[in-house]
A and B are shown apart, each in its own frame.
Chain A
């Protein structure tokens, strides 16, 4: 079989769900569960351990009746992470990384949970708690201790949709009637659907800008089958939360997009890969899938189109950033470690189970659904000639209006900063840690394919923030989220983190800055997947973009940590 030739290990698409069942049953995966599971899937226990230990929401030791995951992203750090962290330790009696003696609370740090517009935020038993502070932590923990059901304590997540383009040019955030897009398929051939998408010039909204119509067309031409549609709802890039808002505000739009893609490509099954951080939306999404089945918009003869059957199921992730990379996601769906595959084949050639698969971001699929519903012409009206349409940008950090902005391509950085009421902006991070950093010198740059391509995150930091703290947070994030397979990424991020710590201590020399450039470059050219290739982009760019900041940090042979005045303080007492 084709699938077997691709990888010697058999795929176990049900494995992640099974592990979740065990995890949820006891709060962790016990030895006996592991044994049971290993029998059930007929694989060695070490292979299972390998999978379990890859995802940070799976535990092999008790993780508390209430498992608390506090987000440690840079936005959270600047909004009071440390104080909230201390408050959690004080109130629960547990230390981070551990469980309190009674086994009630387990405290863990986690990378961005997609709530950057309401930080500091945490998940308790995967339910959201936003805008935390010391007082709120005390109240929340007190209520939980009193036995108030956690569903009643948790917060309602705000959508914070701040801006839509004027003149009804909005694509996403406008009136929405479920089913309006799918029903447009009636009377259209798959080729016509692809043609319409091609005409709209829609390109991948995850940031890679691959033309969506082309991807669908190429997949359609693949002789092998069955084919699959995968909706990538694993927005793990710190600072990104646009997909969360899309799915929360109109859960079924992505479902329609998947069905449309399925029709165009000739697939019968779609899988929505939802990151575990968004578990709180799972019920809502499943309800909508259910509703679509009842409305005849999923299942057999979708929307009354004879012979077009399409099923959608939801696959829950288990905590890993790199799984957002499409081939890593395919591995994860097959119940393997979420390591990126080597680039021998594109997913459209050999994807899920070695079969042709289209992987699209939530936003891309939603855009596709809207294009079908409103027509490519509507889409082409917004944006620029080469980058038509609108883009969702998640804005967070030092601004008064954090939230999602549906901007038209062509909008400049300056305009967006004004819209979000940024506070003395100095350092902007575009597309998250793996993207690029810009300064106010770039304020005239425009969001578009040619200029400032953006995956969806826009973090603003004021001039009072310490750039080194930002970079150290990013590098630590990559160090922990690296899948560990290739040397440059696994060792390189670790080495660079040490270097930045040295810098923080005031011990860095000029040569250390040169090292960062050279070593960062080695990681860029030698790493195996996008994570390692992009992990040092920001680090290297920051050195060039903010020379005035690093100039004072650099010691050309002098140790700035040594303070002569302080060292002679004791002696000054003898001044008569």
Chain B
């Protein structure tokens, strides 16, 4: 490894000083220096994962350092500073793009930080924290990946690899042979390891490789968390300037704008148990009425919508055509739709009939039960009656459901905390006792 570094550390010819602007701040640097490096030296945070000062030309693989360079989006690591270069790091678009790329990595890999040996020393996790990633906007891809225990000194955790290329470029044997290489292509791309070459590495070289990896994909056997929690590399402070860090803090949810929000509720193929639970906040209900009013709901017995509502709470799934129509009307009349309780989420108890053909069910209930007299009963059918569906459908198979509150029934605190959060953005946490049902 040493050889290769020395070889690549070519002397840059001394060049004149230039002035560049980063987010309006004037900075003097030597012409041709790397932008990420210059920003770092001047205390300006440009997120990056694959950039590694020894590797020239830079890898440009992770794309996390994208900024506006002279008005055009481009990765900062690929820029050599030149006179009058104007860099904008923290524009809303660039912040969002960088965040999106990190979120993509979380959606593509299988990252379980609490169980990771590099947790707290992991650049990916660190970037996630610095950018305020709390959830990935992308659907998780659930790509099946392996953990490779074959190498002599290392364990390769493919679930965590972000394909930054650092190990491919930097980890070489004494004869200069590659230990790692990208294999396959497209979404099947993985970093493969050569067992034969890996065995030639010393323990120190293996540890250096582990350190080089920006995530926990390269582990060395027998090496676990190097430092206790609290002492790890990224445990204590943000690398961003304080004002930046402040900006990242969620704006206080002081949105309790004093106009009343409108709620509608309904029970479809349910037992009204969820509605009973809603009432179980007891006197809290009076406080609730200070800030919300109910439109169509069994609670006040309003049968028809009289206005557009902010939120609709649905209990029960759909077992007949009337349920379907009602649910669709709720979708039209409510901005946010929440499925409350198991029946609305997946069908619940009424869905027990889904294993039996409808015909058998009805015949058993109306024609063949022990209390029916042969020939005197029929299966009810009238154009005024709702039509029975072939099976019980969960609500999200009929309309788009925005949120789900599980439970049978969900705890009243759970329901109203969730509703308050949705309506006013109140921070909340659900206590263990509020969602534990056994």
Q: A residues near B, CB below 8 A?
A: 4-6, 8-9, 42-47, 49-50, 53-54, 320, 337, 339, 342-344, 479-488, 490-495, 498-499, 509, 515, 519, 522, 525-528, 555, 557-559, 561-562, 564, 566-576
Q: Are B7 and A8 in contact (CB under 8 A)?
A: yes
CA distance A487 to B108 in the complex (A): 9
Given the complex, which residues of A lie within 8 Å of B381, measured CB to CB?
A: 571, 574-576
- Select the residue from B138, B186, B194, B396 with max chain A CB neighbours within 10 A: B186
Shortest A100–chain B CB gap in Å is 24
Q: Are B389 and A337 in contact (CB under 8 A)?
A: no
Given contacts A44-B178, A54-B183, A337-B181, 7 further A-B pairs with CB under 8 A are: A6-B57, A484-B182, A486-B60, A491-B108, A557-B400, A562-B398, A575-B381
CB-nearest residue of chain A to B109: A491
Given the complex, which residues of A lie within 8 Å of B182, measured CB to CB?
A: 50, 54, 337, 339, 484-485
A46 in contact with B192 given A481-B185, A526-B97 (CB within 8 Å): yes
Which of B187, B332, B359 contacts A482 (CB under 8 A)? B187
A568 in contact with B321 given A46-B197, A485-B61, A557-B399 (CB within 8 Å): yes
A54 in contact with B185 given A498-B139, A522-B100 (CB within 8 Å): yes
Q: B residues near A, CB below 8 A?
A: 4, 7-8, 10, 57-64, 66, 73, 75, 78, 97, 100-101, 104-105, 107-108, 137-139, 141, 162-163, 165, 169, 173, 177-189, 192-194, 196-197, 321, 324, 328, 331-332, 337, 357-359, 362, 378-381, 387-391, 393, 396-400
CA distance A576 to B366 in the complex (A): 15
A567 in contact with B194 given A44-B179, A490-B187 (CB within 8 Å): no
CA distance A570 to B378 in the complex (A): 16
CA distance A485 to B58 in the complex (A): 13
CA distance A493 to B328 in the complex (A): 33
A509 in contact with B196 given A484-B182, A495-B107, A525-B97 (CB within 8 Å): no
Q: Are A487 and B359 in contact (CB under 8 A)?
A: no
CA distance A480 to B184 in the complex (A): 10
The 3 closest A-B pairs by CB, nearest first: A484-B189, A50-B181, A46-B194
Q: Are B185 and A320 in contact (CB under 8 A)?
A: yes
CA distance A4 to B177 in the complex (A): 15
A526 in contact with B141 given A43-B177, A479-B187 (CB within 8 Å): no
Given the complex, which residues of B lie within 8 Å of A488, measured CB to CB?
A: 63, 101, 104
- Select the residue from B61, B63, B138, B197 with max chain A CB neighbours within 10 A: B63
Shortest B433–chain A CB gap in Å is 34
Given the complex, which residues of B lie within 8 Å of A8, measured CB to CB?
A: 4, 7-8, 169
CA distance A561 to B163 in the complex (A): 38
Q: Are A487 and B104 in contact (CB under 8 A)?
A: yes
Q: How many Cβ-Cβ contacts under 8 Å join chain A to chain B? A: 208
CA distance A522 to B328 in the complex (A): 34
- Select the residue from A320, A485, A509, A568 with max chain B CB neighbours within 10 A: A485
CA distance A494 to B104 in the complex (A): 10
Q: Are A484 and B358 in contact (CB under 8 A)?
A: no
CB-nearest residue of chain B to A494: B187
A-B contact pairs, 28 of them (CB 8 A): A5-B8, A47-B181, A47-B194, A49-B181, A50-B183, A337-B185, A342-B57, A342-B59, A344-B57, A483-B186, A484-B189, A486-B63, A487-B61, A487-B63, A487-B162, A488-B104, A494-B108, A494-B186, A522-B97, A559-B400, A562-B393, A562-B398, A567-B324, A567-B391, A568-B389, A570-B358, A570-B359, A571-B390
Which of A339, A498, A575 contacts B141 (CB under 8 A)? A498
Given the complex, which residues of B lie within 8 Å of A490, measured CB to CB?
A: 108, 163, 186-187, 189
Given the complex, which residues of A lie within 8 Å of B391, measured CB to CB?
A: 567
A574 in contact with B186 given A494-B108, A559-B397 (CB within 8 Å): no
Shortest A523–chain B CB gap in Å is 10
Given the complex, which residues of B lie within 8 Å of A6, measured CB to CB?
A: 57
Given the complex, which residues of A lie within 8 Å of B331, measured CB to CB?
A: 557-558
Given the complex, which residues of A lie within 8 Å of B101, measured CB to CB?
A: 487-488, 522, 526
CA distance A569 to B321 in the complex (A): 11
CB-nearest residue of chain B to A510: B400
Given the complex, which residues of B lie within 8 Å of A527, measured CB to CB?
A: 63
Given the complex, which residues of B lie within 8 Å of A339, measured CB to CB?
A: 182
Given the complex, which residues of A lie within 8 Å of B398, measured CB to CB?
A: 558-559, 562
